[in-house]
Amino acid sequence: MTNVPTLPLGSYQIPIVGIGTLTVTDEDALEKMLNTALEAGYRHFDTAYLYRNEHLIGKVLNKWFTSGKVKREDIFITTKLPGEGIYPEGVEKFLKESLAALQLDYVDLYLVHSPIRIKPLNGKGFEAAEGLPTDHIGVWRELEKQVKAGRAKTIGVSNFNQRQVERLLKVAEIKPVCNQIELNVYLPQPQFVEFLQANGIVVVSYFSLGNPGVREQRVESGWWPAGVPDMLTDTTINRIAVRHNRTPAQILLKSLVQKKIVVIPKSVTPSRIRENLQLFDFNLDAEDVEAIAGIAIGEKARLSQIKRLQDHPEYPHPVVEA
């Protein structure tokens, strides 16, 4: 079993590598994935109300807890307040629903999933909940109450931009300990990362390996920059991978972990699940770091753009055409 290093998360600790569960809703696939991850040494699991799989994760974890294989305090669970619940009265309601599904008394990290109050469109995306303001401060006050009530050990945000984070820092009694954002070698956001880390906020990267499914949609619709490959097939990344006798995915993840950025890659393939955790017996050298910095694209490489929401005053990042 791999011992995964941790980073300070306020007075708490977060494993620097976890496993994401976005889009995994098949019970057999998720159970196999989680069992493989637990056996490999993963102790950090990232989910969300939006993912519709909290109940499946709770079922698997409960088996491990009752068998005595792991203790609750050994496992780090992140879940998130959904877009439709981003109003003060929604915080406790949705957190309690998540806890019931996960079969837990508390989560280790509870995040506001989006800076925009949104509503789902029957599984076909999202739109802003018109006429309903996004009350960041009111929502944050309710998150602080959940810490005091013992339902969340720590609290943070996801997809917030710097202006939105600063707004919370000015008023927070319990400051956000985390911002989970899209971050990878094509979209490194160095200034934003520096700001967050300087304020003691842990950066958690999603889409650390890109997201081939979403990328295909962006290519088909013309959003993805012409001629830019999937980062897993990028020639620079593959050259560095060969030199270190590693997989391209391991190089992409190491480039973030080495900067003290938490990664939560998702895979249902047992060999890849294990490989994604094997990052701590090698280091990228200065030449590698410089070469990786040279393939950065910036905002045009963002996969999480949602044009339907771009006119909302709290939309966290600009929509940039390819």
Say if CB 180 and CB 204 are below 8 A apart: yes
Please give the DSSP secondary-structure letter assigned to residue 210.
B
> Which residue is it, tokens 């109050």?
117
Please give the DSSP secondary-structure letter assigned to residue 318.
-
Distance CA 53, CA 49 (A): 8
The token duo for 128 is 């802003």
Identify whether 51 is a catalytic site residue.
yes
The token duo for 164 is 């939105």
Please give the DSSP secondary-structure letter assigned to residue 208.
B
**What is the enclosing helix (H) or strand (E) of 119?**
strand 118-120
Q: Which of 12, 42, 49, 51 is catalytic?
A: 51
Distance CA 36, CA 95 (A): 27
**Strand pairing category for 126-128 and 118-120:** antiparallel
**Nearest alpha carbon to residue 47 among 7, 104, 5:** 104
The token duo for 157 is 């945000």
Active site residues: 51
